[in-house]
Structure 1
Amino acid sequence: MSDGTIWLSRPADSDIEAIIECCQDPAIARWVTIPVPYGRADAEYFVRTRSAEGWAGSSPTWAIRLGEHGRLVGTVGLGVRPQDEGSAEIGYWVAAGHRRQGLMSRAIALACDFGFDPQGMGLTRIQWRALVGNHPSAAAVRKHGFRYEGLSRLGSVLRGSRRDHWMAARLRTDPPGPADGWPAGV
């Protein structure tokens, strides 16, 4: 799937080295629930097990690429929980050298389009959560129509430590453009 600038495709074994390299970034480790330190076994598990099981269970994770067969520069995924039919949670990261270029914004748009499309996942709701302080992540979803829904106090666990997280969501019926109603500082 592509918008002509980025391509989203299933991660493959050929992406393992790029994933390992990207996940050495302290900013990714700060906000994303990845193992630290992140090594080859972690990347292999991500590609061969977690991503493969997600695709088999209607929870796709895509590699973000700058060309149809380009190097992985990030990931975006829609995770479905069996007990919450019609809803998925969006998650993503992008490599340090590719931030502030609008790539994640494009990936979120493509993932949401696929998620809401009846020929894709046919979702009613896509939710987002991020640890408090992850302003770039909040800005990315806000730009795509996600509406702020609140703060979950100590609602997330990152490497054994409970942390507060922000929550937002977009419904299939919500317009895709920037969403109002976000509190100052989020």
Structure 2
Amino acid sequence: MFVVTLNTDSVWLSPPVIGDIDAICAACSDSVIAEWTTMPSPYTRSDAEQFVRRTVPSGWADRSPVWAIRERADGPAVGMIGLLARDSSASEIGYWLAADARSRGLMTAAIEVVCGFAFRPDGMGLERIEWRAFVGNRGSAAVARKLGFRFEGVQRRGLLQRGVRRDSWMAALLAEDPRTQVDGWPD
């Protein structure tokens, strides 16, 4: 897959680079990120190095792109967003933001631009983007719901987090779905 950068007026997405390692390590040391992701905890500089040097390039090579979220083109990485290929027409979206970057609309903008690219025929040509999160991750759910993802249910012990299976929520957005908030999500 070709490497592509994406942007709007408020967010810039580009593949993470070596210079982002310290920012990634610092953000992923946040207990909130550890609680809601499958990343190692404690998260070390070595984990960030492996992510940037190995995981990101292999993902781009295998239709599973990862972008650093930035507030300006030359800004530091304040989060990550990526698509994990499920098959040639579907991917799963994953994302996180550093604590000081939350509640400012950055993730909403990032997801909008990534989904737009993913669904475009000249982008990835996807038909479906899945979202999964551990039950209770209301912050992630709020953003997905706002952007039109439809809640599809609870997967009992659906995700593995550091050796422990946890229940997960599942939702999806289809290429033809309106990008407006939908009902039917858990309270």
Alignment TM-score > 0.5, same fold: yes
Measure, in 1, the Cα distance between the counterparts of 2:48 and 2:184: 38
For residue 180 of structure 1, report the CA deviation from its aligned partner. Answer: 2.2
For residue 137 of structure 1, report the CA deviation from its aligned partner. Answer: 0.4
* Residue 17 of structure 2, aligned match among 12, 15, 30: 12
Question: How well do the aligned residues superpose, as a CA RMSD in angstroms?
Answer: 0.8
Which AA in structure 1 matches 2:16? P
> What is the aligned partner in structure 2 of residue 167 from structure 1?
170
Which stretches in structure 2 are left out of the alignment for 5+ residues?
Answer: 1-5
Which AA in structure 2 matches 1:65? R
Which AA in structure 2 matches 1:38? Y
For residue 37 of structure 1, report the CA deviation from its aligned partner. Answer: 1.1
Measure, in 1, the Cα distance between the counterparts of 2:170 and 2:63: 22
For residue 155 of structure 1, report the CA deviation from its aligned partner. Answer: 1.0
* Residue 22 of structure 1, aligned match among 3, 14, 27: 27
Measure, in 2, the Cα distance between the counterparts of 1:109 and 1:130: 18
Count of aligned positions: 182
> What is the aligned partner in structure 2 of residue 135 from structure 1?
138
For residue 34 of structure 1, report the CA deviation from its aligned partner. Answer: 0.7
Which stretches in structure 1 are left out of the alignment for 5+ residues?
Answer: none
Deviation per residue, 1:136-174 (Å, 9 max, x gap): 000010111100000001111111111000000000010
For residue 181 of structure 1, report the CA deviation from its aligned partner. Answer: 2.1
Same amino acid, percent of matched pairs: 53
Measure, in 2, the Cα distance between the counterparts of 1:30 and 1:180: 26
Measure, in 2, the Cα distance between the counterparts of 1:121 and 1:85: 9
| 1:89 lines up with 2:125 in the alignment | no
For residue 56 of structure 1, report the CA deviation from its aligned partner. Answer: 1.0
> What is the aligned partner in structure 1 of residue 39 from structure 2?
34
| 1:145 lines up with 2:154 in the alignment | no
> What is the aligned partner in structure 1 of residue 183 from structure 2?
180
Measure, in 1, the Cα distance between the counterparts of 2:126 and 2:182: 19
TM-score normalized with structure 2 length:
0.95
Which AA in structure 2 matches 1:49? R
Measure, in 1, the Cα distance between the counterparts of 2:29 and 2:65: 23
